[in-house]
Structure 1
């Protein structure tokens, strides 16, 4: 493989990683919005539960909102891991490009 072909290949790989990072950033933004909505729902449920004096329906709604919030939080953590890995791969490709 010639230097030009190798550089072209590396630039193609870099573009794919940048596109992946863009996709992950969009997914992370969506998951942050979902998490924020669930966090607000938890706060509203807690308020309603305090006002209702322990009504079973309010307690059930609070439990469900907390579960949804926790799921969204886990997705955010996964997004962070995937973004870190993608940035690590991008750094490695950038090093290889700079060495060519």
Structure 2
């Protein structure tokens, strides 16, 4: 493979990686917005529990906390995936710079 062909191939790989990173960034932003909304919901449920102290308020808080934990797990997953894709990008960039 010539240097030109190798460079084209690497630039194609780089483009795919950058597109995936952009997709993951968008997903992470959406998950951050969801998490923030759930934070507000948890605070509201805590306030309701202090004022009402009934079973429905306790159930609402438990549900909101479970949803917030799930959103937090999705954010951690997003961060891990982004880290992996950034490493791939760095590796391709190193290869490109060596041509």
The TM-score, its normalising length taken from structure 2, stands at 0.99
Equivalence map 1:52-71=2 (5 Å): 52=52, 54-71=53-70
Equivalence map 1:8-87=2 (5 Å): 8-52=8-52, 54-87=53-86
Deviation at 1:26, TM superposition (A): 0.1
How many residues align structurally? Answer: 99
4+ residue segments displaced more than 2 Å: none
The TM-score, its normalising length taken from structure 1, stands at 0.98
Q: 5+ unaligned residues in a row in structure 1: which ranges?
A: none
- In the alignment, the residues of structure 2 paired with residue 13 and residue 3 of structure 1 have an alpha-carbon distance, to the nearest angstrom, of 15
Q: Say what the alpha-carbon RMSD is for the aligned residues.
A: 0.4
